[in-house]
Amino acid sequence: MTVDGWSARTADAPHGGDLGGGEPSGGERRDDPPAELLASWTRRVLATLLDHALLATVFFLVFPVQPVAVPSLAITGDQLDGTVPVSWWSNGWAVGAVVLGLALQAYLGSTPGKLVLGVAVVRRADARPAGLLLTVARQLAHVLDAVLLIGYLRPLWHRRRQTFADSLAGTVALATRRPRPFRLGGSGDRSLPPGTPAWEVSREPRWRRAVVGVATAACAVALAFQVSSTTTSSGPEHRTCSVPTAGAFTGGEVEVHRATGTVRRLWVERPQRAADPGVVVAWHLQDGAAAGRTRAPGSADTVLRVTLAAADGTPSRTVERTVVEGQVQATGEVLSEGQVAVPDEVLVDGRTGIRLPLAVVADLGDDWTAELSVVTGGQRSGRCTVR
């Protein structure tokens, strides 16, 4: 029988190994869309890249400090691209952009990138856009697609070119600019006369052409923003000192990695945070007892000490770390004004030292100093001052 231009089959017809829903009630199964109507994997990937470029541009414009991790309309969660994590949902414009993208996908079947490239995601049951709840569920199901990226590659060999999320949600991606409109109530409606193509309407609505035009312009601007990106940043401030008398402690160095820089896209410029700002303090130690590599039973540990102070000596703060068997310990005594904790971390680049937060020198002015010393058994074996 034929319902709304569909060719129905009996319930015992093979289902082609589908993983999820999308089958209409009443024991009927819709025909698969023609192969030439299924969106190619390449087209879907390009649409996703356009969506990401558009979101990245919106985030660049609405967040005053960069970089910001951009959530994708295709992959749930923040992109693992090394950007500084920021709660994008704390910005109303950013939330609005994400919600708008989901709404376009839910009720038009297409995000802006899909509108530009002529891709529509529809329910296999009735060839209409999936609606908000199913669209959100489909986005969450993309977690399965992200496992080794197998799900995202699955359309390359699947006969309906579905990702795992598509199969679970009962959706297919069509290469069309004329998808059937969203309608509450699901499948089985008779809104189209007999003979009308089942998977798309006969003519693209005028309003949809206007939406496509707006999406095309927005994506073009977004691409221009992305390809015109230039970044400027200053290198770390590097200061060294040496111990005048020979000994196990020969000197040290201090590097200040500022959190400032700029990124410019077209005419818009934004300050950019460093990926790992902070103050690096390293002690130059010779092999031997002072480095903590050889310790007699019951002997005292080697202690690394740095005192950071303003030019007039106030304020100042001291951080001490213990070295055992050549390794700076993960915990150490922190001595600072008002007993305020000064968190730090051990260097992992082969140097003996620690990285302190940039805040430890924020209130010391421009002419602050760092006095480095090594203490063994309560006796200071040397010191030097970085200015």
C-alpha to C-alpha distance for 159 and 105, rounded to whole angstroms: 23
The per-residue pLDDT string of the chain (387 residues; one tens digit each, 9 = 90 and over) reads 333 333 333 333 333 344 444 444 433 345 789 999 999 999 999 999 999 999 999 999 999 888 887 776 544 444 434 444 567 788 899 999 999 999 999 999 999 999 999 999 999 999 999 999 999 999 999 999 999 899 999 999 999 999 999 999 999 999 999 999 998 865 444 444 454 448 999 999 999 999 999 999 999 999 999 999 888 877 778 889 988 876 778 889 998 887 678 899 999 998 887 667 788 898 888 765 444 444 444 445 788 888 889 888 788 888 888 876 666 665 544 444 433 445 556 665 567 888 888 888 888 888 899 999 988 877 787 788 888
Q: Which long-range contacts (CB under 8 A, 24 or more apart) does 138-143 make?
A: 138/165, 138/166, 138/168, 138/169, 138/171, 139/73, 139/76, 139/102, 139/165, 140/76, 141/165, 141/168, 141/169, 142/74, 142/75, 142/76, 143/76
Owner of token pair 């990937």: 45
pTM above 0.85, yes or no: no
